[in-house]
Amino acid sequence: MNILVINSGSSSIKYKFFQMPKKKLLAEGKIEHIGETGSDIQDHKAGLKLILNKINSVDAVGHRVVHGAERFKKPVLIDQPVIKKIRECCSIAPLHNPANLAGILACSKLLKGVRQAAVFDTAFHQSIPDYAYIYGLPYEYYTKFCIRKYGFHGTSHEYVAHEAAHALKQHINELKMITCHLGNGCSITAVDQGKSIDTSMGFTPLEGLVMGTRCGDIDPALITHIMKKKRLDIISMDNLLNKESGLKGISGLSNDMRVLEENSRKGNKRARLALDIFVYRVKKYIGAYTAIMGGCDILVFTGGIGENQRGIRGRITKNIFKHLNKKPKIIVIPTNEELMIAKQTYQLMNGRELRRDPAHSAGLINAKRRRQR
């Protein structure tokens, strides 16, 4: 079965085309500048047409959908009621879900009769208990406005947790794991017996770790304080927190960890400070998640930084478990969200109930392999 995996953003469509169940990558690519002034590609339908010119025989499509709120706890086959529910989630994910939906609607028009599945970034975290996902706000903000922690990068955390257990020949249902997805966006998840029980991102992907350009955890009172002090409107404040903060904001140099490591080596103090803050925050979360699980058997690193930057991994893990009698195994697993989406789509198309156990794993990979990007 040939499965087209679509990751549709506001002005781009990334795709990978797999032959399943062999997991053979047949094609991949990216269409950019959709709908931008001066671009020939007017909308997602036009973008998808370009992709379909390059590939043949699509049997099914798997879509990455960022937000499934509490409605979607696992991947689903797409039909009209599902489209309606994804649309309803747009109010709490206005930057992502409309773009994901545009990709789904374009496929419905151009690939008539081809079945589609939606795989949600939030679904893996739906097992987080209420005492971990409810914020310290009036409870009606949860019941009326759906304000709670959702967590993101779920497909990646689930994938690397299963791959790590598989690579170490252990059964995920017997493991306490901490998965660190460290890329431009960064998040950490506590995975107890194969289930996410807490994660660092929250209602949006802004909470938690210090990221490339996102601030992560800050005192919430700072938002009104800065808005008053700098006379910022909501959009400018949002921009400051999401695009001008994190490693980029602290260092004043770059959001790219490779640039910061190099400059730190050359003696740049703010690059060094950005690295120190990044490492410190990751350590703190690992400590917290070890505490809530009462231990940790496996610590997994993934994402551009987690996979490639040995120095950062070394600093994060230095002395971190020295108080534990049983030290966790530390492993690097390259993430492959698209393959996970293809695998889950394949299972849905074959009418198989999705299970969250090692059989669900998308195949053993070489844990030492590094992504070449």
Alpha carbon distance, N-terminus to C-terminus of the chain: 28
* Angle (CA) 132 138 139, round 5°: 60
Q: Is 257 in the site for ligand ADP (CB under 6 A)?
A: yes
Q: Check: CB of residue 128 under 8 Å from CB of residue 154.
A: no
Q: Is 305 in the site for ligand ADP (CB under 6 A)?
A: yes
Mask: binding to ligand ADP, 274-303, rule CB under 6 A, as x and -? -----------------------------x
- In the region spanning residues 209 to 248, those forming contacts with ligand ADP, defined by CB under 6 A, are 212
- From 112, 169, 266, 373, residue interacting with ligand ADP (rule: CB under 6 A): 373
Q: Which is nearer to ligand ADP, 125 or 176 (CB)?
A: 125
Closest residue to ligand ADP using C-beta atoms: 304
Q: Check: CB of residue 248 under 8 Å from CB of residue 213.
A: yes
Q: Which is nearer to ligand ADP, 158 or 297 (CB)?
A: 158
- Ordered alpha helix ranges (H), 244-268: 246-251, 257-265
What strand order describes the sheet that includes 76-77? 24-31, 13-19, 2-8, 60-65, 115-120, 76-77
Residue in the structure block whose two tokens are 């394949």: 346
Residue range at the interface with ligand ADP (CB under 6 A); choices 43-51, 103-111, 191-199, 254-262 = 254-262
Q: How far apart are CA 192 and CA 178, in angstroms?
A: 8
153: nearest Cα among 192, 200, 111, 106: 200
Q: How far apart are CA 346 and CA 359, in angstroms?
A: 14
- From 308, 336, 347, 361, residue interacting with ligand ADP (rule: CB under 6 A): 308
- In the region spanning residues 180 to 199, those forming contacts with ligand ADP, defined by CB under 6 A, are 183-185
The single residue of 40, 59, 79, 121 carrying the catalytic annotation is: 121
- From 8, 189, 200, 309, residue interacting with ligand ADP (rule: CB under 6 A): 309
Token readout for 296 is: 């940790």
Shortest separation between residue 302's beta carbon and ligand ADP, angstroms: 8
Q: Is 258 in the site for ligand ADP (CB under 6 A)?
A: yes
Q: Is 59 a catalytic residue?
A: no
Q: Is 256 in the site for ligand ADP (CB under 6 A)?
A: yes
So which residues are the catalytic ones?
121
Residues lying near ligand ADP in the complex (CB under 6 A): 183-185, 212, 256-258, 303-305, 308-309, 373
